[in-house]
Structure 1
């Protein structure tokens, strides 16, 4: 019968499970922490996108002037983003411009003709996310998130 080496005896293995648990727990906790933080970011981003889309849809409701449509879009986007905490109060902006297929928004006269069609672009931004989310490395959390929507306006 072979003799058991002293380093393999049960009394020298005491605490091995505690060390394994500590290593596995740190990895598990880091993954769980990241999932919660990014889940909150995605929820905030989805809420901002929803507010921007609702604001753009509100511009389709009849208003007597183009600026009235723009103001209606901003007011609806603000009311839909009021659920955000005061620390990251969203900033809403809207602009009406020609829909010429380019990414540039040129404010020209809008009309009922196809060549004079206009669109509204609603942008909802939230800054200061570092103060709301649990602390993470700065490369992992964006400083701002935004939702953007555009809608082709019918000016008849």
Structure 2
């Protein structure tokens, strides 16, 4: 089974500002500072936020997913404002997914707003359909996009220019 699940979130922040957050390591810091209790604790294991960076996400206690999940940043396209992370260990891999990819794209609407297009793509054996219905949700990516849209201007200097 192969699927692609998209989610668009409009935000009142310029695309260049949002890409500055989404295009590198700052997104992990935003999640770690503001969403650790919902999404999990984010740690950069290796790299600087570019292609090849290894990221470890430790899921929060009491959530549906448990333990750790390791991702690699597989693509960063500054010109088109696209980033792709692939799960390489734990999390969805432990549940039987052959491929689990997160794609983040920042689409400029006008000079003061943009759309954060978050999506998930996965491949899994058809016999594991119950795993998909139980664990796959675009909700975490939507929460991250909404948080970025609400907090990016306020927290930008405080969080990222330390």
TM-score, normalised by the number of residues in structure 2: 0.29
Larger RCO (CA within 8 A; separation ≥ 6) = 2
Greater fraction of residues in strand = 2
TM-score, normalised by the number of residues in structure 1: 0.30
Greater fraction of residues in helix = 1
